[in-house]
Chains A and B, each alone.
Chain A
Amino acid sequence: MGERLLLRGNEVIAEAAIRAGCQCYFAYPITPQAELLEHMARHMPRLGRTFIQAESEIAAISMVYGAAATGVRTMTSSSSPGISLKQEGISYLAGSNLPAVIVNIVRGGPGLGNIAPSQCDYFQATKGGGHGDYRMIVLGPSTVPEAGELTMLAFDLADKYRIPVMILADGMLGQMMEPVELPDPVDPGGLPTKDWATTGAAGRDPNIVLSFDLDPEKLKEMNLALQEKYREIEANEVRYEESDTEDADIVIAAHGTIARIARSVVRLARAEGIRLGLFRPITLWPFPYEPLRGLADRVDTVLTVEMSAGQMWEDVRLAVAERAATPFYGELGGVVPTPRGILNEVRKHAD
C-alpha cells in the first residue's frame, strides 16, 4: 500500500496482475476493455515480462494454456464477444488443471451487441461456456479498488486449486475512474513451486499436461478428481457481503456494478422507512447458496436486480427455495438502472 492514484478499472486490474506476478499476458483488443491491454503493453516489456497482442482471441487463450503449463502466472482479458471465442481454451485449461486468470469486461449482447456495460455473461461465466463438466471460480468486483484486490486473489486461487479463475466485471467498472491504493507487489520468487509444470525433464520423469484420455474409465477418474476439487472450492471459497440486513424485511440481491448502485438505493429506501438490505455475492461461482438461504428465512422478499434478463436470478431462486418472494428487475442491452428506478421496484414489494 502507499500512494493513492486515480485510475480506471481496466488499468487497476492490469496493474494488480503485474503486482501479483503475472509473467505472461496475451490478448486481442476490444472495447470496453482496451485500456487493460494498453497498460500491459506499456509496462510488461519494461519489466522484462511477456506481452503479446495475439492475432485472435483463440490464439491468446491458447498462448495462456502454453504459458500456464510451464508454471508461470498468466492472464488474458477481453470483452463479451471475445470471451465467447476463448471458450474452447477455457475448457482445455479446466480439463488440464491449469491455473490462469481470464478477465471479462462484459458489454451488451448477444452477438456483436454494443460497448455499454452489461451483466449478460453471467450464465456463460458461472455455468460453463465451454464444453465438458467443468467449473471455474468467478469473482465479481463491485468497485474499482475491489477489482484490483480480487485480481490479486484470482492468481492465488488459480495456483492453489490449479483452476482457471475469471474476473467478471462490466464496461462500467472497466471505464470508471476511482481513487485506488494499489496493493504491494508479491515477490515472484516467493510463490509456491509447481512440481507438475513442464519446465524441462532433465533429471526427472517428464510432466505431462493433458485433458485427454481415450479410455472412458480413466477419463471418468479425471472427471471425478475435478468434481472433488470443485466440492472443496465450494466448501472453502464462498465469498459474499451482507449490509443492512439485520432488521431487513426486503433485500436486494445483486453483484458487481448493480450492487454498488443498490447501496444508494438502501439509503434512499431507509430514508422513507423501508427496511431494505443488500446481499452481494462476491464469488459468483461458487455461489453463496447457504448464506442467502439463511437470510431468506429472515426476510419477506429477495429482489434480484441485474443488467440482464435474469441470470443470477436463477441461482437466487435455487438458494431461496420458496422461503421468501423472489421478484426480479433487470435492464437490458447496456442500459444501467438508476437508483430511483430500482427504488421504484423496491416500493412495489414493500408494504
Chain B
Amino acid sequence: MSRGAVVIDAERCKGCGLCIAACPQQVLAFSGRLNKSGYNVAHMEHPDACIGCAFCAMTCPDIAIEVYREKVPT
C-alpha cells in the first residue's frame, strides 16, 4: 500500500471535474472556492483516502495537479 497527497495549482484549474471523476478513492471534490478566473477549483475532500495513484494528474488536461506518494510499510 501507499499513501498519497495531491497538490492542485488553483490558478491553473478550470473546474472541469475530470480529476474528481477519475479518482478511484473519491478523494477529490469541488472546493466551492473560486480562483482568479472564477472557476470552482477541485481540492482534497478526503485526504486520508488518497493512495497516490496519480490518475487525477494523468487525466488533468491543464497539468494543474502534482501527486506525492510514500510507501507505507505493511
Chain A residues packing against B (C-beta within 8 Å): 6, 8, 31-32, 34, 115, 175-177
CB of A177 within 8 A of CB of B39, answer: no
Min CB–CB distance B51 → chain A (angstroms): 26
Tell me the complex Cα distance, A32–B14, Å.
Answer: 9
B61 at the interface (CB under 8 A from A): yes
Given contact pairs A8-B61, A32-B14, A177-B61, a sample of 13 additional A-B residue pairs in the complex whose CB atoms are under 8 Å apart: A6-B61, A31-B37, A31-B38, A31-B39, A32-B37, A34-B37, A115-B37, A115-B38, A115-B39, A175-B14, A175-B16, A176-B61, A177-B62
Tell me the complex Cα distance, A319–B14, Å.
Answer: 38
Min CB–CB distance B64 → chain A (angstroms): 11
The main secondary structure of chain B at its interface with chain A is: loop
What would 16 A/B residue contacts be, using CB atoms closer than 8 Å?
A6-B61, A8-B61, A31-B37, A31-B38, A31-B39, A32-B14, A32-B37, A34-B37, A115-B37, A115-B38, A115-B39, A175-B14, A175-B16, A176-B61, A177-B61, A177-B62
Tell me the complex Cα distance, A6–B61, Å.
Answer: 9
Min CB–CB distance B15 → chain A (angstroms): 9
Tell me the complex Cα distance, A177–B63, Å.
Answer: 11
Tell me the complex Cα distance, A192–B39, Å.
Answer: 43
Chain B residues packing against A (C-beta within 8 Å): 14, 16, 37-39, 61-62
Tell me the complex Cα distance, A325–B66, Å.
Answer: 51
Min CB–CB distance B70 → chain A (angstroms): 30
Tell me the complex Cα distance, A32–B16, Å.
Answer: 12
For A6, the chain B residues whose CB sits under 8 A away are 61
Q: Which of A8, A31, A34, A176 has the most CB of B within 10 A?
A: A31
For A177, the chain B residues whose CB sits under 8 A away are 61-62
Tell me the complex Cα distance, A176–B14, Å.
Answer: 10
Min CB–CB distance A337 → chain B (angstroms): 15
Min CB–CB distance A170 → chain B (angstroms): 14
Tell me the complex Cα distance, A36–B62, Å.
Answer: 15
Min CB–CB distance A260 → chain B (angstroms): 15
Tell me the complex Cα distance, A258–B39, Å.
Answer: 22
CB-CB nearest 5 A-B residue pairs: A177-B61, A31-B37, A115-B38, A31-B38, A175-B14
| Smallest Cβ-Cβ distance to B61: which chain A residue | A177
| Smallest Cβ-Cβ distance to A175: which chain B residue | B14
Tell me the complex Cα distance, A6–B62, Å.
Answer: 10
| Smallest Cβ-Cβ distance to B62: which chain A residue | A177
Tell me the complex Cα distance, A10–B70, Å.
Answer: 38
Tell me the complex Cα distance, A22–B35, Å.
Answer: 31
| Smallest Cβ-Cβ distance to A115: which chain B residue | B38
Tell me the complex Cα distance, A8–B48, Å.
Answer: 33
| Smallest Cβ-Cβ distance to A176: which chain B residue | B61
Tell me the complex Cα distance, A31–B35, Å.
Answer: 11
For A8, the chain B residues whose CB sits under 8 A away are 61
Q: Which of B37, B39, B62 has the most CB of A within 10 A?
A: B37
Min CB–CB distance B26 → chain A (angstroms): 20
Min CB–CB distance A178 → chain B (angstroms): 9
For A34, the chain B residues whose CB sits under 8 A away are 37
Tell me the complex Cα distance, A299–B37, Å.
Answer: 44
| Smallest Cβ-Cβ distance to A116: which chain B residue | B15
Min CB–CB distance A27 → chain B (angstroms): 16
Min CB–CB distance A197 → chain B (angstroms): 38
Min CB–CB distance A182 → chain B (angstroms): 18
Tell me the complex Cα distance, A70–B37, Å.
Answer: 35
Tell me the complex Cα distance, A345–B62, Å.
Answer: 33
Q: Which of A34, A176, A177 has the most CB of B within 10 A?
A: A177
For B14, the chain A residues whose CB sits under 8 A away are 32, 175
Min CB–CB distance A102 → chain B (angstroms): 22
